[in-house]
Amino acid sequence: MDFTTENSKKDISKNRIALPSKGNGGLEDKLSGHFGHCLVFTVMDVEEKKIKNVKKFNNPPHNKVDKHMSHMLAVNLLKDNGVNIVIEGGIGKEHLRGLEQAGIKVYAGKIGTVEFNVKEFMEGRLSLGKAGIDDHDPEHEHDTEHQDHIMLEGS
């Protein structure tokens, strides 16, 4: 028995789920390969395997002076909006630690759309954990061309 798959099956009854999205957000948008540098989070309620109340939240801009505070902006945005699960395609250590400390469970996403990943979660086919850790140099600057440099499951 795969513990992580069993664990995800227990989580599917009622949740608010956030996914970092590549474009403008929404169910048809692709899962971003970089949590911290996505432009938008697609957030939805999932009850009894039904997707409801899809919303989009802009990812707060990074603060280059205080990197820890910068990492916590996205975490706090999601926490303050009632998110209890994140499905991600790649995430740095600071964001991962912040989400875990906020009580938000992190699941490893797969290459595909937001909707595909939520359905995979609802069917218990995503693992509790991370898709890829971005161990980049914290001083490394990013731009939108760098968004896909994290390994996604299936890549």
> Which residues, in sequence order, are bridge partners of residue 51?
46
Query: 3-146 falls under which CATH superfamily?
Result: Dinitrogenase iron-molybdenum cofactor biosynthesis domain (3.30.420.130)
- CB under 8 Å, gap of 24 or more: what pairs does 28-31 form? 28/113, 28/114, 28/115, 29/113, 29/114, 30/112, 30/113, 30/114, 31/87, 31/88, 31/89, 31/109, 31/110, 31/111, 31/112, 31/113, 31/114, 31/117, 31/152
- Can you give the pLDDT of all 155 residues of the chain as single tens digits? 333 444 455 555 789 999 999 999 999 999 999 998 899 999 999 998 999 999 999 999 876 666 667 778 999 999 999 999 999 999 988 899 999 999 999 999 999 999 999 999 999 999 998 765 443 434 334 433 333 333 444 44
